[in-house]
Amino acid sequence: MDITTVTSYRAARTRADLALAPGEVVMAGGTWIMSEPQPHTTGLVDLTTLGWPDVEVSDEGLRIGATCTIARLLAWAEREAPADWTSLALARPSADALLASFKIWNTATVGGNVCQAFAAGAMIAFLSTLDATALVWTPEGGERRIAVADLVIDNAETSLAPGEVLRALDIPRRALTSRVGLQKIALAELGRSGAVVTARVDPDGSSVFVVTAAVRRPRVLRFARIPGAGELRDAVASATDFYTDPLGSADWRRGVSVVLAERLRAGFVREAAA
Ligand SMILES: Cc1cc2nc3c(=O)[nH]c(=O)nc-3n(C[C@H](O)[C@H](O)[C@H](O)COP(=O)(O)OP(=O)(O)OC[C@H]3O[C@@H](n4cnc5c(N)ncnc54)[C@H](O)[C@@H]3O)c2cc1C
């Protein structure tokens, strides 16, 4: 930890406390903020003291508070969630795709992971696949909603304007009772994912496939049914933002994304035939 420029800390208690002074940034779990120098940051405003509920169930579906930790979400999804919310089975494999130990899960928040917006964002894969929308508080006191997949506009970049705060993530009820799956690959066994493909098949047969980690921002592909192999391959391969870094080349990422998507597709087809 080397954040020597930070000279102030405030615990936010009300929305008014989220008005940021020059040099201040909001902090949730702090696992990324504390992990590298923040030369432009002079003050931290803690969101975890706002008392936002971790999870709220309503007729509309599931609301996850932005400050809910990844560990708390997993525990709730596996022990307390309605039994027919089968889509929540995607939460754990998504969290497993995060290159981080359970110690990070206990502190890192769902909202912090989304706002950090890494291409391999574990909660971004989970939430985008379940059609989650982000509830954003604007600095003037208003709010706006945007699909999580659209909030992320590039690797480590969101469309959040200065002073905007992610308040919650809403998963619609219609996306909670689906069949889901995740496939991933990394060059190193315990390395950061080079490609992650997640998918959901709804009770009406429509499907959603999402590519993350291999592309700079989530690529969401929707089909009125489970697509054919060629249709899915073409849809996945046609993304224009596969990228190269030390964890894999763009061509490799394109190729393995096609394979991972096909594994999911074939699994859904087998299940449907069984
Ligand atoms: C060892 C290690 C491994 C990691 N591996 C991965 C990985 O494989 N994949 C991956 O995606 N990430 C990875 N990360 C980074 C990860 O995204 C973050 O550590 C964590 O998810 C961020 O959550 P946090 O609550 O700690 O956020 P913080 O560190 O508190 O904040 C992260 C950023 O988001 C902003 N922010 C947080 N909450 C809000 C909010 N509600 N509204 C507006 N802005 C907000 C902060 O200002 C900051 O810019 C790793 C981190 C570590 C330390």
- What digits encode the pLDDT tens for the residues 158-175? 999 999 999 999 999 999
Is it true that 50-174 and 177-273 share their CATH fold?
Answer: no
Give the CATH number of domain 177-273; options: 3.30.390.50, 3.40.50.1000, 3.50.50.60, 3.40.50.1970.
3.30.390.50
**pLDDT tier, 187 (very low <50, low <70, confident <90, very high otherwise):** confident
Quick one: CATH architecture of 50-174? 2-Layer Sandwich (3.30)
What pLDDT is attached to residue 100? 62
* Cα dist from 10 to 167, 176, 194, whole Å: 18, 37, 37
The 61-65 sheet, strands edge to edge: 55-58, 61-65, 165-172, 133-137, 143-147
What pLDDT is attached to residue 188? 79
- Decide: 165 and 26 in contact? Cβ < 8 Å: yes
**pLDDT tier, 99 (very low <50, low <70, confident <90, very high otherwise):** low
Substitution candidate for ligand 1 out of 116, 128, 167 with most atoms within 8 A of CB:
116
- Which residue has the least CA distance to atom 11 on ligand 1? 121
The tally of CA atoms less than 13 A away on the side-chain side of residue 81 is 23
Q: Which residues line ligand 1 (CB under 6 A)?
A: 25-33, 35, 47, 66, 98-100, 104, 108-109, 111-113, 115-116, 118, 120-122, 160, 165-166, 192
Conformation bin of residue 117: beta by default, left when phi > 0, alpha when psi is -120 to 50: left
In ligand 1, the atom with minimum distance to the C-alpha of 109 is 25
Residue type, 266: A
Torsion sign, CA atoms 132, 207, 250, 245: positive
Global confidence as pTM: 0.97
CA distance 72 to 76: 6
The pLDDT of 9-26, averaged and rounded, is 98
Q: Measured in Å, how far apart are the chain's first and last C-alpha atoms?
A: 53
